[in-house]
Amino acid sequence: MKNVSLISAIALVAATAGSAQAQTLEKVISEGVLACGVSEGVPGFSNPNSEGVWEGLDVDICRAVATAVLGDPDAVRFSPLTSSQKILAVSSGQVDMTSRTTTWTMKRDSAEGVDFTQVVFYDGQGFMVRAESGITDANQLDSATVCVTTGTTTELNLADFARAQNITIEPVVFEGKREAVAAYESGRCDALTTDASQLGAFRTSFIDPEAHTILDTLISKEPLAPLVAHGDNQWKDIVTWTIFGLISAEELGITSENVADLAANSDNPDVQRLLGASGDTGGFVGLEGSWMKDVIASVGNYGEIFDRNLTQTLGLERGLNAQWNDGGILYAMPIR
Protein backbone atom coordinates (compact mmCIF):
# COMPACT_ATOMS: atom_id res chain seq x y z
CA MET A 1 0.00 0.00 0.00
CA LYS A 2 1.55 3.21 -1.18
CA ASN A 3 -0.70 5.51 0.76
CA VAL A 4 0.21 3.99 4.10
CA SER A 5 3.29 6.19 4.35
CA LEU A 6 1.23 9.21 3.30
CA ILE A 7 -1.38 8.45 5.90
CA SER A 8 1.14 8.02 8.67
CA ALA A 9 2.79 11.29 7.62
CA ILE A 10 -0.59 13.00 7.90
CA ALA A 11 -1.13 11.29 11.21
CA LEU A 12 2.09 12.81 12.50
CA VAL A 13 0.86 16.26 11.58
CA ALA A 14 -2.42 15.40 13.25
CA ALA A 15 -0.62 14.16 16.33
CA THR A 16 0.96 17.53 16.90
CA ALA A 17 -2.30 19.31 16.14
CA GLY A 18 -4.34 16.87 18.18
CA SER A 19 -2.55 17.39 21.47
CA ALA A 20 -3.61 21.03 21.45
CA GLN A 21 -7.29 20.18 21.77
CA ALA A 22 -8.04 19.02 25.27
CA GLN A 23 -11.35 19.47 27.02
CA THR A 24 -13.40 17.18 24.83
CA LEU A 25 -15.85 16.80 27.72
CA GLU A 26 -16.75 20.50 27.68
CA LYS A 27 -17.11 20.43 23.92
CA VAL A 28 -19.44 17.43 24.03
CA ILE A 29 -21.56 18.95 26.79
CA SER A 30 -21.82 22.33 25.10
CA GLU A 31 -22.82 20.74 21.79
CA GLY A 32 -25.15 18.31 23.52
CA VAL A 33 -24.10 15.52 21.20
CA LEU A 34 -21.26 13.00 21.06
CA ALA A 35 -19.60 12.64 17.66
CA CYS A 36 -18.72 8.99 17.42
CA GLY A 37 -16.91 7.34 14.53
CA VAL A 38 -18.16 3.87 13.59
CA SER A 39 -17.55 1.54 10.67
CA GLU A 40 -19.53 1.71 7.43
CA GLY A 41 -21.08 -1.65 8.10
CA VAL A 42 -19.84 -4.67 10.03
CA PRO A 43 -22.65 -7.01 11.06
CA GLY A 44 -23.02 -7.14 14.83
CA PHE A 45 -20.64 -4.22 15.39
CA SER A 46 -22.12 -1.25 13.58
CA ASN A 47 -24.70 -1.13 10.86
CA PRO A 48 -27.89 0.84 10.27
CA ASN A 49 -30.94 -1.42 10.65
CA SER A 50 -34.10 -1.33 8.54
CA GLU A 51 -35.45 1.60 10.56
CA GLY A 52 -32.28 3.58 9.85
CA VAL A 53 -31.07 3.27 13.45
CA TRP A 54 -27.45 2.36 14.09
CA GLU A 55 -27.03 -0.98 15.86
CA GLY A 56 -24.17 -3.12 17.08
CA LEU A 57 -21.59 -3.58 19.80
CA ASP A 58 -19.43 -0.64 18.71
CA VAL A 59 -22.55 1.50 18.43
CA ASP A 60 -23.66 0.58 21.95
CA ILE A 61 -20.28 1.66 23.33
CA CYS A 62 -20.89 5.10 21.78
CA ARG A 63 -24.38 5.15 23.28
CA ALA A 64 -22.97 4.17 26.68
CA VAL A 65 -20.49 7.05 26.62
CA ALA A 66 -23.21 9.45 25.44
CA THR A 67 -25.41 8.35 28.33
CA ALA A 68 -22.57 8.73 30.83
CA VAL A 69 -21.79 12.25 29.65
CA LEU A 70 -25.14 13.60 28.44
CA GLY A 71 -27.68 11.23 30.00
CA ASP A 72 -29.17 10.33 26.62
CA PRO A 73 -28.24 7.21 24.61
CA ASP A 74 -29.54 8.91 21.46
CA ALA A 75 -27.38 12.02 21.81
CA VAL A 76 -24.85 10.52 19.42
CA ARG A 77 -23.93 11.65 15.93
CA PHE A 78 -22.58 8.57 14.17
CA SER A 79 -19.99 9.17 11.50
CA PRO A 80 -19.25 6.15 9.35
CA LEU A 81 -15.48 6.11 8.87
CA THR A 82 -13.45 4.12 6.41
CA SER A 83 -10.39 2.22 7.50
CA SER A 84 -8.07 4.97 6.31
CA GLN A 85 -10.03 7.68 8.12
CA LYS A 86 -10.51 6.02 11.47
CA ILE A 87 -7.30 7.24 13.08
CA LEU A 88 -7.21 10.65 11.42
CA ALA A 89 -10.81 11.52 12.16
CA VAL A 90 -10.25 11.22 15.86
CA SER A 91 -6.75 12.75 15.97
CA SER A 92 -7.92 15.79 13.98
CA GLY A 93 -10.97 16.26 16.19
CA GLN A 94 -13.68 15.53 13.60
CA VAL A 95 -15.12 12.96 16.00
CA ASP A 96 -14.81 12.81 19.78
CA MET A 97 -14.12 9.10 19.82
CA THR A 98 -13.92 6.20 17.39
CA SER A 99 -15.54 2.90 18.17
CA ARG A 100 -14.78 1.01 15.02
CA THR A 101 -13.33 -2.51 15.23
CA THR A 102 -9.82 -1.08 15.52
CA THR A 103 -6.99 -3.36 16.60
CA TRP A 104 -4.91 -1.95 19.45
CA THR A 105 -1.33 -1.83 18.22
CA MET A 106 1.73 -0.11 19.57
CA LYS A 107 2.26 2.04 16.49
CA ARG A 108 -1.25 3.43 16.51
CA ASP A 109 -1.21 4.05 20.23
CA SER A 110 2.12 5.85 20.21
CA ALA A 111 3.09 7.27 16.84
CA GLU A 112 -0.27 8.07 15.27
CA GLY A 113 -1.64 10.55 17.79
CA VAL A 114 -4.41 8.48 19.33
CA ASP A 115 -4.96 6.71 22.63
CA PHE A 116 -6.70 3.38 22.96
CA THR A 117 -9.11 3.15 25.87
CA GLN A 118 -10.11 -0.40 26.80
CA VAL A 119 -10.65 -3.56 24.79
CA VAL A 120 -14.34 -4.17 24.06
CA PHE A 121 -13.88 -7.29 21.96
CA TYR A 122 -11.00 -9.77 21.88
CA ASP A 123 -11.05 -10.87 18.28
CA GLY A 124 -8.62 -13.15 16.57
CA GLN A 125 -8.25 -15.18 13.45
CA GLY A 126 -10.33 -18.32 13.75
CA PHE A 127 -11.51 -21.29 11.70
CA MET A 128 -14.90 -22.50 10.55
CA VAL A 129 -15.32 -26.15 9.58
CA ARG A 130 -18.21 -28.38 8.60
CA ALA A 131 -19.77 -29.96 11.68
CA GLU A 132 -19.81 -33.38 10.00
CA SER A 133 -16.00 -33.33 9.66
CA GLY A 134 -15.72 -33.93 13.41
CA ILE A 135 -12.88 -31.44 13.77
CA THR A 136 -12.96 -29.76 17.17
CA ASP A 137 -9.48 -28.26 17.37
CA ALA A 138 -7.35 -26.43 14.82
CA ASN A 139 -4.51 -28.93 15.42
CA GLN A 140 -6.60 -31.52 13.63
CA LEU A 141 -6.46 -29.49 10.43
CA ASP A 142 -3.37 -31.42 9.20
CA SER A 143 -3.41 -31.79 5.39
CA ALA A 144 -6.67 -29.87 5.22
CA THR A 145 -7.46 -27.30 2.54
CA VAL A 146 -8.26 -23.88 3.98
CA CYS A 147 -9.93 -21.00 2.10
CA VAL A 148 -8.19 -17.68 2.80
CA THR A 149 -7.97 -14.21 1.25
CA THR A 150 -4.73 -13.27 -0.44
CA GLY A 151 -2.27 -10.57 0.54
CA THR A 152 -3.65 -10.12 4.03
CA THR A 153 -2.13 -10.81 7.42
CA THR A 154 -4.71 -13.59 7.53
CA GLU A 155 -2.72 -15.60 4.98
CA LEU A 156 0.56 -15.00 6.81
CA ASN A 157 -0.96 -15.93 10.17
CA LEU A 158 -2.19 -19.19 8.67
CA ALA A 159 1.27 -20.07 7.40
CA ASP A 160 2.85 -19.16 10.75
CA PHE A 161 0.30 -21.28 12.58
CA ALA A 162 0.93 -24.31 10.37
CA ARG A 163 4.68 -24.01 10.86
CA ALA A 164 4.38 -23.59 14.62
CA GLN A 165 2.07 -26.61 14.93
CA ASN A 166 4.22 -28.61 12.52
CA ILE A 167 1.25 -29.54 10.36
CA THR A 168 0.66 -29.10 6.63
CA ILE A 169 -2.17 -26.82 5.69
CA GLU A 170 -2.97 -26.31 2.06
CA PRO A 171 -4.19 -22.72 1.63
CA VAL A 172 -6.63 -22.01 -1.22
CA VAL A 173 -6.17 -18.35 -1.89
CA PHE A 174 -8.92 -15.95 -3.02
CA GLU A 175 -8.92 -12.31 -3.99
CA GLY A 176 -11.89 -11.27 -1.87
CA LYS A 177 -13.60 -12.43 1.30
CA ARG A 178 -16.90 -13.14 -0.44
CA GLU A 179 -15.19 -15.45 -2.93
CA ALA A 180 -13.39 -17.31 -0.16
CA VAL A 181 -16.66 -17.79 1.70
CA ALA A 182 -18.53 -18.94 -1.40
CA ALA A 183 -15.75 -21.42 -2.17
CA TYR A 184 -15.88 -22.81 1.35
CA GLU A 185 -19.66 -23.10 1.24
CA SER A 186 -19.55 -24.94 -2.07
CA GLY A 187 -17.18 -27.49 -0.56
CA ARG A 188 -13.95 -26.38 -2.22
CA CYS A 189 -12.13 -26.27 1.14
CA ASP A 190 -12.34 -28.13 4.43
CA ALA A 191 -12.09 -24.95 6.48
CA LEU A 192 -12.40 -21.19 6.19
CA THR A 193 -10.22 -18.77 8.10
CA THR A 194 -10.70 -15.08 8.88
CA ASP A 195 -11.47 -12.99 11.98
CA ALA A 196 -13.69 -14.95 14.36
CA SER A 197 -16.26 -12.17 14.61
CA GLN A 198 -16.76 -12.28 10.84
CA LEU A 199 -16.95 -16.05 10.71
CA GLY A 200 -20.12 -15.74 12.78
CA ALA A 201 -21.63 -13.31 10.30
CA PHE A 202 -20.72 -15.53 7.35
CA ARG A 203 -22.19 -18.57 9.03
CA THR A 204 -25.53 -16.80 9.51
CA SER A 205 -25.71 -16.22 5.76
CA PHE A 206 -25.39 -19.94 4.97
CA ILE A 207 -28.42 -21.99 4.00
CA ASP A 208 -27.89 -24.33 6.95
CA PRO A 209 -25.87 -22.49 9.64
CA GLU A 210 -26.12 -25.48 12.01
CA ALA A 211 -23.95 -27.56 9.70
CA HIS A 212 -20.89 -25.41 10.41
CA THR A 213 -18.86 -24.93 13.59
CA ILE A 214 -16.50 -22.14 14.53
CA LEU A 215 -13.49 -23.56 16.35
CA ASP A 216 -12.40 -22.03 19.66
CA THR A 217 -8.78 -21.82 18.52
CA LEU A 218 -7.65 -18.31 17.66
CA ILE A 219 -4.30 -17.95 15.91
CA SER A 220 -3.81 -14.19 16.10
CA LYS A 221 -4.49 -11.40 18.56
CA GLU A 222 -6.91 -8.68 17.46
CA PRO A 223 -7.93 -6.71 20.54
CA LEU A 224 -10.55 -4.23 19.32
CA ALA A 225 -10.74 -1.05 21.35
CA PRO A 226 -12.32 2.40 20.99
CA LEU A 227 -9.86 5.25 20.63
CA VAL A 228 -9.71 8.92 21.54
CA ALA A 229 -7.36 11.74 20.59
CA HIS A 230 -3.99 11.81 22.31
CA GLY A 231 -3.61 14.42 25.01
CA ASP A 232 -7.00 14.70 26.71
CA ASN A 233 -6.60 12.47 29.71
CA GLN A 234 -9.94 13.28 31.31
CA TRP A 235 -11.79 12.27 28.16
CA LYS A 236 -9.77 9.09 27.85
CA ASP A 237 -10.63 8.29 31.47
CA ILE A 238 -14.33 8.80 30.82
CA VAL A 239 -14.40 6.37 27.88
CA THR A 240 -12.12 3.85 29.60
CA TRP A 241 -14.07 3.78 32.84
CA THR A 242 -17.43 3.68 31.12
CA ILE A 243 -16.28 0.46 29.45
CA PHE A 244 -14.93 -0.87 32.76
CA GLY A 245 -18.28 0.08 34.27
CA LEU A 246 -20.15 -1.99 31.68
CA ILE A 247 -17.91 -4.99 32.31
CA SER A 248 -18.10 -4.59 36.12
CA ALA A 249 -21.88 -4.39 35.93
CA GLU A 250 -22.02 -7.82 34.32
CA GLU A 251 -19.58 -9.21 36.90
CA LEU A 252 -21.76 -7.82 39.71
CA GLY A 253 -24.98 -9.06 38.13
CA ILE A 254 -26.42 -5.61 37.44
CA THR A 255 -28.66 -5.65 34.38
CA SER A 256 -30.81 -3.04 32.70
CA GLU A 257 -33.83 -4.61 34.41
CA ASN A 258 -32.63 -4.73 38.03
CA VAL A 259 -30.44 -1.62 38.00
CA ALA A 260 -33.05 0.71 39.51
CA ASP A 261 -33.83 -1.77 42.24
CA LEU A 262 -30.15 -2.47 43.06
CA ALA A 263 -29.30 1.21 43.12
CA ALA A 264 -31.90 1.74 45.82
CA ASN A 265 -31.61 -1.47 47.81
CA SER A 266 -28.29 -3.24 47.27
CA ASP A 267 -26.04 -3.79 50.29
CA ASN A 268 -23.04 -4.79 48.19
CA PRO A 269 -20.48 -1.97 48.51
CA ASP A 270 -19.15 -2.61 44.98
CA VAL A 271 -22.64 -2.25 43.55
CA GLN A 272 -23.26 0.87 45.63
CA ARG A 273 -20.04 2.47 44.40
CA LEU A 274 -20.72 1.62 40.77
CA LEU A 275 -24.27 2.95 40.83
CA GLY A 276 -23.43 6.09 42.80
CA ALA A 277 -25.26 5.07 45.98
CA SER A 278 -22.06 5.60 47.96
CA GLY A 279 -18.89 7.45 47.13
CA ASP A 280 -18.59 9.67 44.10
CA THR A 281 -17.01 7.59 41.35
CA GLY A 282 -18.49 9.82 38.64
CA GLY A 283 -16.89 12.85 40.21
CA PHE A 284 -13.40 11.43 39.58
CA VAL A 285 -13.87 11.92 35.85
CA GLY A 286 -16.06 15.02 36.00
CA LEU A 287 -19.43 13.29 35.65
CA GLU A 288 -22.55 12.85 37.78
CA GLY A 289 -22.43 10.36 40.65
CA SER A 290 -25.11 8.21 39.03
CA TRP A 291 -23.40 8.02 35.60
CA MET A 292 -23.19 4.23 35.42
CA LYS A 293 -26.75 3.80 36.65
CA ASP A 294 -28.07 5.68 33.63
CA VAL A 295 -25.71 3.85 31.28
CA ILE A 296 -26.77 0.39 32.44
CA ALA A 297 -30.44 1.37 32.46
CA SER A 298 -30.27 2.48 28.82
CA VAL A 299 -27.82 0.10 27.10
CA GLY A 300 -27.45 -2.74 29.63
CA ASN A 301 -24.25 -4.32 30.93
CA TYR A 302 -21.49 -5.74 28.73
CA GLY A 303 -23.08 -9.20 28.69
CA GLU A 304 -26.41 -7.81 27.54
CA ILE A 305 -24.74 -5.75 24.81
CA PHE A 306 -22.78 -8.79 23.61
CA ASP A 307 -25.81 -11.04 23.70
CA ARG A 308 -28.08 -8.59 21.88
CA ASN A 309 -25.64 -7.80 19.08
CA LEU A 310 -23.47 -10.86 18.61
CA THR A 311 -24.99 -13.95 20.19
CA GLN A 312 -28.64 -13.62 19.23
CA THR A 313 -28.01 -12.41 15.70
CA LEU A 314 -24.73 -14.03 14.69
CA GLY A 315 -24.54 -16.92 17.13
CA LEU A 316 -21.11 -15.88 18.43
CA GLU A 317 -19.91 -17.55 21.63
CA ARG A 318 -18.37 -15.43 24.39
CA GLY A 319 -15.07 -17.35 24.23
CA LEU A 320 -12.22 -15.02 25.21
CA ASN A 321 -14.77 -12.31 25.86
CA ALA A 322 -16.23 -14.05 28.88
CA GLN A 323 -15.57 -12.66 32.36
CA TRP A 324 -12.22 -13.53 33.93
CA ASN A 325 -13.96 -15.77 36.50
CA ASP A 326 -15.90 -17.50 33.75
CA GLY A 327 -13.13 -18.73 31.48
CA GLY A 328 -12.51 -15.52 29.53
CA ILE A 329 -10.03 -12.67 29.90
CA LEU A 330 -12.48 -9.83 30.47
CA TYR A 331 -11.17 -8.18 33.62
CA ALA A 332 -12.46 -4.78 34.68
CA MET A 333 -10.28 -2.71 36.98
CA PRO A 334 -11.95 -2.01 40.32
CA ILE A 335 -14.19 1.00 40.36
CA ARG A 336 -13.59 2.73 43.66
> Out of 24, 67, 85, 157, which residue is the one contacting other proteins (CB under 8 A)?
85
Q: How many residues bind other proteins (CB under 8 A)?
A: 41
Considering only the stretches 12-20, 156-164, 222-230, 234-242, report the one whose residues sit in contact with other proteins under the rule CB under 8 A: 12-20
Is the distance from CB of 225 to CB of 104 less than 8 angstroms? Answer: yes
Should residue 14 be labelled a site residue for other proteins when binding is judged by CB under 8 A? yes
Find, among 63, 177, 50, the residue nearest to 125 by Cα.
177
- Taking the CA atoms of 258, 263, 265 and 266 in sequence, report the sign of the dihedral they define: positive
> Out of 59, 68, 69, 88, which residue is the one contacting other proteins (CB under 8 A)?
88
> Out of 19, 94, 165, 268, which residue is the one contacting other proteins (CB under 8 A)?
94
Nearest distance in Å: CB 77, other proteins: 5
Q: How far apart are CA 56 and CA 54, in angstroms?
A: 7
- Phi/psi for 330 (5° steps) reads -80, 115
Should residue 179 be labelled a site residue for other proteins when binding is judged by CB under 8 A? no
Q: How far apart are CA 246 and CA 237, in angstroms?
A: 14
> Out of 77, 188, 221, 318, which residue is the one contacting other proteins (CB under 8 A)?
77
Q: How far apart are CA 189 and CA 331, in angstroms?
A: 37
Residues 18-47 close enough to bind other proteins by CB under 8 A: 21, 33, 40-44, 47
Should residue 207 be labelled a site residue for other proteins when binding is judged by CB under 8 A? yes
> Out of 65, 129, 201, 292, which residue is the one contacting other proteins (CB under 8 A)?
201
Residues of this chain that bind other proteins (CB under 8 A): 10, 13-14, 17, 21, 33, 40-44, 47-54, 77-82, 84-85, 88-89, 92-94, 178, 201-202, 204-207, 313-314
